[in-house]
Structure 1
């Protein structure tokens, strides 16, 4: 049985800032699935999502010096980079041209997103924190932040009024701030 190695976020960031390749490998191994899930949810095309995923990790590697732990967790910073990269990709002319011809390919080769979007919550210490929320709050946080849905998409797909989604999110964020003692 392979030994699972966990690295604290602080140590991981320090090693990345020192350009430690093994730290980047660890980062990719532990975070790529969840980040891919967010990217794929936006782009809905496997090939482009994989390219954007690579771009995200290159950007993280190149810009790790700009990461500020006082503004949030490493994972949150990476998810923001991923979302921005995916959105930028949808805006590119090249993507819009290929999207018209590749929609059939997407339908034929649709992948199981859940396989790629399982966040290693144990590895980054979120599991215990999220379990302190109500089931409804856990669901909203999972759909919005871990799976990349928008509030409108959650409302539509799960037949929940948009106002309810927003309220549950607001209450979940208040609760998370209290749990994490963030002002």
Structure 2
């Protein structure tokens, strides 16, 4: 009887020891999996930040490169509209220095990739929000530029010799452009240090 009790006690202890070992193994495996997943998330976030920094620098430069031209063009269009007399295209070009409207073509590959990989979820919330605002502003501005170009530069735009209507439309467009572009530059300058880059 004592022997049976001893053997049962021993098998219960053995069973408890095996259960503890299996439980510890499962716990360690879950811990390792969680560490690996956390490391992947940190890597996704770091890659996304690097991509955002590069793309925002490129987009900021694209806006900065056309700022002086858009300001000059707006002044030239205003002077052209204030002048008396006929308004043929040659006079418009001479008065304004018109070399096209030169819209900004924003890159957004980093944004698309961050959405596809869900990397935004692994960034601090305030940083993800700030980056999202930049891309929303870019998209809104790009849509505005595209709409103006489609509306103004159709097949009938240059059929008439008088460019007064074109100049008035361009004046309204450039007023908005010359408000939006400085705002975008300020937004880039605020966000770029947050992604670890000097503007």
Give the TM-score band, short-chain normalised: under 0.3
TM-score by length of 2: 0.24
Q: Which has the higher contact order (CA 8 A, sep 6+)?
A: 2
Q: TM-score, normalised by structure 1?
A: 0.26
